[in-house]
Structure 1
Amino acid sequence: MVGAGVAGLILGVGTVTLVTDPPGRILVGLAAVGLLVFAVMSWRARPKLAIIDGSLVYRGWWRTRQLGRSDIRLIRITEFRRIGRKVRLLEIDTADDRLLVLSRWDLGADPLQVLDSLTEAGFAADRP
């Protein structure tokens, strides 16, 4: 994320200094803008999950949503193999039939550790 921002800034400088190559200037400028947008949006979106004042706060790209214990039906870990390695996802099933799927990238930590923290806070307890 920080690397993408730094690379975007370097490409931005390259856009300004490539005076003799207009097509290259446009391509480098587009790459710079893309990297900077990616860096800013990644910074905004992570981490997506936090426990604040007894409620679970889920932050998406554009809005933030608060979930109380009664709003959560089930929290579980799913594991599968992908490109030769094991991938874990944290799934949160809400009472209004929404499924939030969060990866390690989204959480900023291992999903198992996040599940342990949610269990300690009383969010991932078994529900009838």
Structure 2
Amino acid sequence: MDNSPASWAPKPAVIGLGWLLTVFAAAATVFTALSGDPAGPILFGIATVGLLAFTALGTVVRPKLSADTHGVRVRTLTGDHRLDWSQVRVRLVRTRRFGREVATLEIECENVPPHLLVLGWIELGTDPEDVVDVLSSLRPGAA
């Protein structure tokens, strides 16, 4: 069993696509403003701000999740949260969305904010089921 540290973050291609879409949305905002369309700049401006926020978050908060035999570390906008294995409960949750099953990783923290983190494949850069397998192998006392 390999107990070396592991980490997960959004794939660079996803982040790159986010920045590209942000630039296109910003250009569309300017173009619609210059064309005299009253609603276009508002709608594209909202899209630009949303894309900018999510892409900047994915760029700055890297890696999103890392783990070793001592515990897990989660990076959020409020900083790094280092949690011992005794403080967390990790589970895989499957839900049906749009006719297909979607898996998410839930990390429940005792007495430490954030109390519940829900991470999908975009935040982790891989299938949450694979992450749960690695986390289970890193947790002390795992069979």
TM-score normalized by the length of structure 1: 0.71
Structure 2 residue matching 1:66: 3-state secondary structure: strand
Match of 1:115 in 2: 132
**Are 2:50 and 1:57 aligned?**
no
* Stretch of structure 1 that moved more, 35-44 or 56-65: 35-44
* Stretch of structure 1 that moved more, 16-25 or 115-124: 16-25
CA distance in 2 between counterparts of 1:30 and 1:102 reads 25
Q: Which of the numbers 100, 117, 120 marks the counterpart of 2:117?
A: 100
Query: Rg larger in 1 or in 2?
Result: 1
Please say if residues 16 and 25 of structure 1, whose CA atoms lie closer than 8 Å, have aligned partners that are also in contact.
Answer: no
In the alignment, residue 42 of structure 1 is paired with which amino acid? G
Identity of aligned residues (%): 30
TM-score normalized by the length of structure 2: 0.65
| Offset at residue 29 of structure 1 (A) | 4.7
| Offset at residue 115 of structure 1 (A) | 1.0
Match of 1:35 in 2: 51
Where in structure 1 are there 5+ consecutive unaligned residues? none
Post-superposition Cα deviations, 1:6-25, rounded to whole Å, max 9, x if no partner, equal 12223434555664537478
Post-superposition Cα deviations, 1:41-100, rounded to whole Å, max 9, x if no partner, equal 23234542102583310112332200112222x322121222211111222233328333
Q: Which of the numbers 64, 72, 77 marks the counterpart of 1:48?
A: 64
**Are 2:91 and 1:76 aligned?**
yes
Structure 1 residue matching 2:133: 3-state secondary structure: helix
Please say if residues 79 and 89 of structure 1, whose CA atoms lie closer than 8 Å, have aligned partners that are also in contact.
Answer: yes
Q: Aligned residues, how many?
A: 125
Q: Which of the numbers 97, 106, 110 marks the counterpart of 1:91?
A: 106
CA distance in 1 between counterparts of 2:27 and 2:106 reads 42
Structure 2 residue matching 1:96: 3-state secondary structure: coil
- Structure 2 CA distance for partners of 1:34 and 1:71, relative to 1, 3 Å: closer
Please say if residues 69 and 139 of structure 2, whose CA atoms lie closer than 8 Å, have aligned partners that are also in contact.
Answer: no
